Structure 1
Amino acid sequence: MGIHQAANQLEQRKMDIKPRVGLLIIGIILLGANLRAPLTSVGPLVTSIRDNLGISNTLSGSLTTLPLLSFALLSPFAPRIARRFGMELTLFLSLVLLTIGIGMRSVGGVPTLFIGTILIGLAIAIGNVLLPSLIKHNFARNIGLMTGIYAVSMNLCGAIGSGISIPLASSSGLGWAGALGCWGILSLITVFLWMPQLRRPFNSGKDVQTAQKDKKINLWRSGLAWQITFSMGLQSFIFYTVITWMPEILEQKGMNADEAGWMLSIMQLAVIPITFLVPILAGRLQSQRLLVVPPVIFLISGIFGILSGSTLFIPVCMILIGIGVGTIFSLSMMFFSLRTQSTHEATELSGMAQSFGYLLAAIGPVLFGLLHDITHSWTLPLLMLAAISALIFIVGMRAGNNEYVTTQ
């Protein structure tokens, strides 16, 4: 009788786990969807926001920079917050904060616009840091697949956010505030669908035991951790610089504003299949050094293709740049899991890499613009991006080694 009871209990436990896993996967997909769209939807509407509120170009330009600075500010503290309140609750509170931030940003006033933008940046910073370690903890045998799934969700919604902002604002009559406010619906839905994780966090017992055993670590003294950090930071530097300045570069090469905007969309769409396939491939390899070579070649080829001045090959060049940054981004996300031995270490490494990484990303567009102002040409700024690509190769080859950040 005891054997039958034990078998029944085991079977019941298996049946109980399946829906929990399904809800967790859905929650991860929706979390990923909220990490880019509230930001990428702003760029196409900056001119409308500026003209409607009567603010300067400097202030309107800071709508892109403020979230990146928020990422850099909060990312190092996200692991501590998660250890204090639990990962599931921390992510839930970040979703609530994100929804509040989107609502405040869409009220229509200048103060609420910037306060809301800062809140959005702080909320997304939590998700950026914690999601890779959440996947490592709950899906240790399928890290590559789950990383690919959430990265696709993130980049797909980011591309959609860029594409539908203008139609939502103009064609539907919502204006810029309504178009940006629509993303609050997605975050609110995610809040409700994440609630089951608060009741019974999947595999939480193991997390508590791991947290108790983990000794205090200082990854800022780890050479490998710094290589991963620079890999993350340098690709962010290129991505956000291209997003900011490429439309203007292409317009000066003869494209109209709509065509230049479509080139950015093509670049972001090229990222989507890469961010799904690369994590799966990386997860099956002991060393990821070979995966570093092709994206660097693609990046340098795309940048020199833009420099050549021919508009004929610009779509191909944008695809190459998209594949390049997408591959390095995916590898960086995987390094947080592959180069650490516990959820605690993965969270710490993610916080370190994203803090410094997004600080570099915030500097990139400013430095690129400064070089253009000094030289009155796009040649030197683009050559700088090519040099940054070469640096990615150097740090990426080191980060791709099959070793752990705390056992070098």
Structure 2
Amino acid sequence: MHSSTLAVRTHRPVLLVAGILCIAASLRAPITALGPLLELVRESFALNASQAGLLTTLPLLAFAAVSPLAAPVAHRWGLERVLFAALMLLVAGIVLRSAGSAAALYAGTCVIGGAIAIANVLLPSLLKRDFPQHVARLTACYALAMIAAAGVMSAVAVPLHRALGAGWPASLATAAGLPLLAALLWLPQLRFRTTSAPGLSSAPASASVWKAPLAWQVAAYLGLTCFVYFAAIAWLPSILLEAGDSSAHAGAMHGWMQLAGAVPALLLMPLMQRMRDQRWISFASPALSALGLVGLMTLPALTPLWVFAFGMGMGAALILSLAFVGLRAGNQRIAASLSGMSQCIGYLLAAVGPTLIGFLHEAAGSWTVPLVVCTVLCVAMCGLGLSVGRAVHIEE
């Protein structure tokens, strides 16, 4: 980026940050909106449990498949343009998913996952380039926007279905409003790129990232976080129902866990700016989640407390995983390649998590074994956090 262009951008940070936050708000809501409506979707197309579960797995597989492609594409066409194209692709995927046929439902879900994957990868690179001194704080802000929008969309999906009177497709289609707003706010940024985005040349950085032990630590931390968190998203209501809770209480606890995940975004913003490194918080976050899981198994009478502790720990770990991309990268090019690598591995594990945990439950006949496995993975993350939290960088 030329210095004159950088000067123009840095004199207009409010519009740029608003665009970033609106993009972030678009990256989970289209997926979480489906959960409350899933039973209605199943009834419409007579889907069995496996076919319905595929609607959760497909976006995660798309994340893994598309993430490594984002940096080379951004290098060729420019980071701003590719982010705008991803928003338009996301709108198209949401509309296609709501077209009313089973084929469109699955195809639209894949398109949504691919579009989100591109923006997921490029946002950390954008922060590293334009706000190198504020990576941790802005990562926490966009994680908060992402989680809050997802929670709101989950809460309003069923009321919108009832209010609109046009079936679940109309309710799902309303999720297109977020990426449309983000695209409008992003339009002024398109004039800052014409052909290429300096610092995103993918080949050398990509090679160095895949060979760097620290990069694998970043990827492993994100991967384990995604595995445990998405398994909980998929199975927590079933775990609580089997323990004797009502469906209403199980649903409320599911929302409570997601709300807890937003708390660290507020707490980590001031903390991470003052830290010399992130070792203790990288250790404490999965430790808190492990405590929540152990409490859930041993003292179920305090379920709200344990669910909140688990959600808060996982929320903090997710924010740290995203922040590590910028904090551990030596430059913007490495940040883009590290983001693609870590999210590819992370979301492959996320796609495996719900299925493997469900299989363990069926094989064991109870939820104890799956919960113990998730606890062990959280403990492994504690050890990994002491290493990945060090203030070191991946260099070319």
Which TM bucket (shorter chain)? over 0.9
2:354 counterpart residue number? 365
1:403 counterpart residue number? 392
Percent identity of paired positions between Structure 1 and Structure 2: 36
More moved, 62-71 vs 144-153: 144-153
Question: Could you tell me which of 126, 137, 142 is aligned with 2:134?
Answer: 142
Mapped pair 1:263 → 2:227: no
SS state at 1:141 partner: coil
Contact 1:132/1:350 (8 A) holds in 2: yes
SS state at 1:341 partner: coil
* Superposition pairs of residues 212-223 of structure 1, within 5 angstroms: 217-223=207-213
* Superposition pairs of residues 3-402 of structure 1, within 5 angstroms: 17=9, 20-200=12-192, 208=198, 217-308=207-298, 310=300, 312-402=301-391
Task: Please report how far the alpha carbon of residue 282 of structure 1 lies from its aligned counterpart in structure 2 after TM superposition.
Answer: 2.5
Task: Please report how far the alpha carbon of residue 108 of structure 1 lies from its aligned counterpart in structure 2 after TM superposition.
Answer: 0.8
SS state at 1:123 partner: helix
Distance in structure 1 (CA, Å) of the matches to 2:351 and 2:51: 15
- Residue 365 of structure 2 aligns to which amino acid in structure 1? H
Give unmatched runs, 5+ long, in structure 1: 1-11
Distance in structure 1 (CA, Å) of the matches to 2:29 and 2:234: 16
Contact 2:286/2:381 (8 A) holds in 1: yes
Task: Please report how far the alpha carbon of residue 53 of structure 1 lies from its aligned counterpart in structure 2 after TM superposition.
Answer: 1.6
Contact 1:231/1:392 (8 A) holds in 2: yes
Contact 2:284/2:382 (8 A) holds in 1: no
Alignment CA distance shift 1:210-1:80 (3 Å): closer
- Residue 170 of structure 1 aligns to which amino acid in structure 2? R
Larger radius of gyration: 1
TM-score, with normalisation over the residues of structure 1?
0.91
- Residue 316 of structure 1 aligns to which amino acid in structure 2? L
- Residue 286 of structure 2 aligns to which amino acid in structure 1? V
How many residues of Structure 1 are paired with residues of Structure 2 in the alignment?
A: 393
Distance in structure 2 (CA, Å) of the matches to 1:42 and 1:31: 19
More moved, 93-102 vs 330-339: 330-339
- Residue 145 of structure 1 aligns to which amino acid in structure 2? R
Distance in structure 1 (CA, Å) of the matches to 2:287 and 2:143: 22
1:97-147, Cα deviation, whole Å (9 max, x unpaired): 000000000011001101100000000001111111111111112112211
Give unmatched runs, 5+ long, in structure 2: none
Distance in structure 2 (CA, Å) of the matches to 1:106 and 1:206: 35
Distance in structure 1 (CA, Å) of the matches to 2:75 and 2:58: 26
